[in-house]
């Protein structure tokens, strides 16, 4: 069964996609901006805006899910219709099964990530973008040899009606200059 998007969700997704494209083009200045309007918010009207620290904590949750070694726990952090453009795969992942498949392979390397640089943009009370650079320590499953991979990332999150934040778009690409 295909879920039909509402006009509000379409506008939000267009706004998120546009913002992600702008971030990817490198045109956002470093820092955090907070949108003042709360029209169309899925959360409570009296809810306080999300803080930069709360947004940065979403990565910590994701990284902790990686450490469990369970690809389903990682996939639980993605919205049902999320898009994943992963670091070590040429395939665009657009549903849960594809996202689980990617993490089944990626988790074999026992990844442990840390952020090096982050820029948080709060678009409204329910939509945020976290972009920057992170580094993963990977362990070769055959040899046990460790390696580090630096990558650029963008996470777009949407707050769900139950108050949880889910990834709706995640792009990660290895740094072009080693």
b/e map 103-130, b = 16+ CB within 10 Å: beebbebbbebeeeebbbbbbbbbbbbb
Can you list the alpha helix ranges (DSSP code H) found in the chain? 7-24, 52-68, 71-75, 96-106
Tens of pLDDT, residue by residue over 43-91, are 444 467 899 999 999 999 999 999 999 999 999 999 999 999 999 899 9
Delineate the domains of the chain, giving CATH numbers in brackets: 31-36+47-174 (3.10.450.50)
Is residue 174 a contact partner of residue 151, using CB atoms and an 8 Å limit? yes
Tens of pLDDT, residue by residue over 114-134, are 999 999 999 999 999 999 999
Predicted TM-score of the model (pTM)? 0.75
């Amino acid at each position: 069964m295909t879920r039909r998007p509402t006009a509000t969700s379409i506008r939000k997704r267009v706004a998120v996609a546009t913002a992600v494209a702008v971030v990817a083009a490198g045109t956002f200045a470093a820092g955090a901006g907070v949108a003042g309007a709360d029209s169309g918010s899925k959360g409570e009207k009296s809810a306080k805006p999300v803080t930069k620290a709360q947004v940065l904590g979403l990565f910590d949750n994701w990284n902790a899910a990686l450490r469990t070694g369970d690809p389903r726990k990682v996939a639980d952090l993605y919205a049902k219709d999320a898009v994943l453009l992963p670091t070590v795969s040429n395939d665009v992942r657009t549903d849960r099964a594809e996202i689980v498949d990617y993490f089944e392979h990626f988790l074999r390397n026992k990844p442990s990530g840390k952020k090096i640089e982050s820029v948080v943009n709060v678009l409204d009370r329910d939509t945020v973008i976290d972009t920057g650079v992170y580094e993963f320590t990977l362990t070769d499953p055959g040899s046990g040899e460790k390696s580090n991979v630096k990558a650029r990332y963008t996470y777009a999150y949407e707050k769900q009606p139950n108050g949880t934040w889910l990834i709706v778009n995640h792009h990660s690409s290895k740094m072009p200059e080693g």
